[in-house]
Amino acid sequence: MQDKDMVNDVLSMLNASLTNYTTAIAESCNQQLRQTLTQIRNADEQFQFQLSQKAEQKGYYKPAPPANSNDIQ
């Protein structure tokens, strides 16, 4: 497996995990569990951001271009 494939696979798995954490947080009634899941989700979001920046620098990942003002309106 190439480095690019591994990085993109990890980014994909992180995105899925972030979605699952968000769902679990929203559905949890236990405040301590919610706080723990929130901390884990926040750490994963930070890692995902850092990894995506590295991937972009190496040319492994190309984010979507910014929307122009006409598309936004």
Whole-model pTM: value is 0.77
| pLDDT single digits (tens) 4-58 | 889 999 999 999 999 999 999 999 999 999 999 999 999 999 999 999 999 999 9
Are the CB atoms for 42 and 17 separated by under 8 Å? no
Look at residue 1 in the predicted model and tell me its pLDDT. Answer: 73
State the CB neighbour count (10 A cutoff) for residue 49.
11
Which position has the token pair 């006409």?
Answer: 70
Look at residue 16 in the predicted model and tell me its pLDDT. Answer: 94
